[in-house]
Amino acid sequence: REYFAGFEGGLVSCDGCGMTLRLLDVEDAYAMDPWRLTVVIDGGHLRAPPTGWSVARLLESARGVVSEMATQNAIVFACSIGTTATHAEGLIHAIEWLTTYDDEDGELEYFAQRHDGEQTDERRGNRRDYFGPSTCPRNAYIAKHAPIPVALAANRVAAETITVYPPGIPIVCIGDVLTPDTLSHIQSLAHTGASITGATDATMATILVVDDT
Tell me the pLDDT tens digit for each residue of 1-50.
Answer: 777 777 777 788 888 777 888 887 655 556 667 788 888 888 766 566 78
Position 130 scores a pLDDT of 41
**CA atoms within 13 A of residue 26's CA, in its CB half-sphere:** 5
With residues binned 3-state (H G I as helix, E B as strand, rest as coil), the percentages for the chain, rounded to 5, are 35, 25, 40
Q: What are the pLDDT digits (tens) for 33-43?
A: 778 888 888 87
Exposure class string for 43-77: b at 16+ Cβ within 10 A, else e: ebebebbbbbbbbbbbbbbebebebbebeeebbbb
Give the pLDDT of residue 154. 93
| Predicted local distance difference test score (pLDDT) of residue 118 | 43
Q: Is residue 208 pLDDT above 90, yes or no?
A: yes
Q: What pLDDT shows up at residue 123?
A: 40
- The alpha helices in 27-152, defined as continuous H runs, are 29-32, 52-58, 85-99, 107-113, 121-124, 126-131, 137-142
Q: How confident is the model at residue 121 (pLDDT cuts 50, 70, 90)?
A: very low
Q: Quick one: which H or E segment has residue 185?
A: helix 180-191
Burial (Cβ within 10 Å: 0-12, 13-18, ≥19) of residue 162? buried
Between residues 81 and 148, the one the model is more confident about: 148
Provide the pLDDT for residue 61.
86
Taking the alpha carbons at both ends of the chain, their separation in whole angstroms is 56
Average confidence (pLDDT) over 175-182: 90
Task: Return d(Cα 90, Cα 59) in angstroms, integer.
Answer: 11
Q: Which residue has the higher pLDDT, 135 or 187?
A: 187
Mean pLDDT of the chain: 79
Q: What is the pLDDT of residues 74-98, one digit of tens each?
A: 888 988 888 888 988 999 999 999 8
Average pLDDT estimate for 44-62: 80
**In the Cβ-directed half-sphere of 32, how many Cα atoms lie within 13 Å?**
8
Q: How much of the chain exceeds pLDDT 70, in percent? A: 81
Other beta carbons within 10 angstroms of residue 207's beta carbon come to: 25
- Say what the pLDDT of residue 153 is: 94
Residue 122: the pLDDT is: 42
pLDDT of res. 127: 40
